[in-house]
Amino acid sequence: MKVGFWNVQRLGGSSPEEKKSLVANVIDKFFDELDVELMVLCEITSDTVVNSSSENEHKIEKIVHRPRRTNRRTSSALGYTLITKEGLDATAWKFEVPSFTDIFDQPNHRKGGSDYYNKGKRHVLTLSHYEEGWDLYFYHANAISGGGSKHAVAWIAEALRLENSDKAGNVLHPFVLIGDLNCHPTELRLCINELADIVGKDSDWAKGFQVVHGSETHTTQPKDGEPALQKTFDYAVGTKGGGRTIKVKAIDTRFIGGSALESHPDHLPIVVTFV
């Protein structure tokens, strides 16, 4: 099975038509050429419709988002959308992240407290039990200063491990969390190792997670010249098990369909393959 993920950088009804067309062309490519079964997009600002150069229409429905603190700004909260292959039945909903104390049996050692939603502005989207033997989750991490993003991802990773384990802590279903995790894979791996020491986990606990990535996915805009791929923010983390693995590949779509470079979001999409 293959699934796609893409941070489309604030896509909604008011987005330029050129950007909507580019997104639609990428969606066509993922389903028609790369043969994904489903695709999750994040940074959706509102419902819209995008049309590809092949005259395929894709409905973008904003789902699983957290309202902002004031009613005036509720409509601008960022959400996800789920697109599936024709005839495929898949339902997405939110995963409620338990408190740090509930997960690790001690208060959070970082500022912000033990309630995830004091810091995390976005829900985790889940397609639990969609792929046989795996539970699928998707996440757009906040860009939190001081290492907050990697800490939040490690927190969520352990919450998902426990969600898919028995009372003794044995993993019943391996999970994979796919998304824009807003931290480098090496930073996340180090954070998981450091967290193990802080909360009293042994080395086997940290080794039980796999962090899988491809090439760079995030572009930066220099003062002069074209945007350059410099960071790997979009990838997957999960538990090992079941004798199966995952592969992650970034797909360079910056020039697809002859679109202008400035119309492309600041992230490349990724394909995750379950082997």
For 183-214, write each residue's pLDDT tens digit.
Answer: 999 999 999 999 999 999 998 999 999 999 99
Rounded mean pLDDT of 240-264? 83
Per DSSP, the three-state class of 110 is: coil
DSSP state of 274: E
* Four-point Cα dihedral 85, 87, 89, 92, nearest 10: 40
Q: Does residue 227 register a pLDDT over 80? A: no
Q: What is the CATH number of domain 2-274?
A: 3.60.10.10
Q: What is the pLDDT of residue 77?
A: 84
Mean pLDDT of the chain: 91
- The first and second tokens of residue 125, run together, are 């989207």
Q: Are 190 and 151 in contact (CB under 8 A)?
A: no
* Residue 166 confidence (pLDDT) above 70: yes
Confidence of residue 74 (pLDDT cuts 50, 70, 90): very low
- Model pLDDT, residue 141: 96
Distance CA 256, CA 26 (A): 7
Please state the rounded mean pLDDT for residues 115-132.
84
Please report the pLDDT score of residue 223 as a whole number.
Answer: 58
Distance separating alpha carbons of residues 23 and 52, to the nearest angstrom: 8
Structure tokens at 272: 């995750």
More confident residue, 267 or 70: 267
Alpha-carbon span 67 to 144, nearest angstrom: 19
State residue 221's pLDDT score. 66
User: What pLDDT does 262 receive?
Assistant: 78
pLDDT confidence band for 222 (50 / 70 / 90): low
> pLDDT class for 158, splitting at 50, 70, 90?
very high
Under 8 Å between Cβ of 62 and 76: no
Q: DSSP string of 153-201?
A: HHHHHHHHHHHTB-TT--BSS-EEEEEE-SS-HHHHHHHHHHHHHHHT-
Which of 64-78, 113-127, 223-237 holds the top average pLDDT? 113-127
- Residue 138 pLDDT > 80, yes or no? yes
Query: Token pair for residue 11?
Result: 């896509």
Q: In the predicted model, is pLDDT for residue 52 greater than 80?
A: yes
241 φ/ψ angles, rounded to the nearest 5 degrees:
155, 165
Residue 229 contacts residue 219 (beta carbons within 8 Å): yes
Query: What is the rounded distance in angstroms from the CA atom of residue 193 to the CA atom of residue 201?
Result: 9
Report whether pLDDT(258) > 50.
yes
Is pLDDT above 90 for 93?
A: yes
Ranked by mean pLDDT, the top range of 36-45, 75-84, 159-168, 234-243 is 36-45
Q: Which residue has the higher pLDDT, 236 or 111?
A: 236
pLDDT for the residue 203: 87
Look at residue 238 in the predicted model and tell me its pLDDT: 95
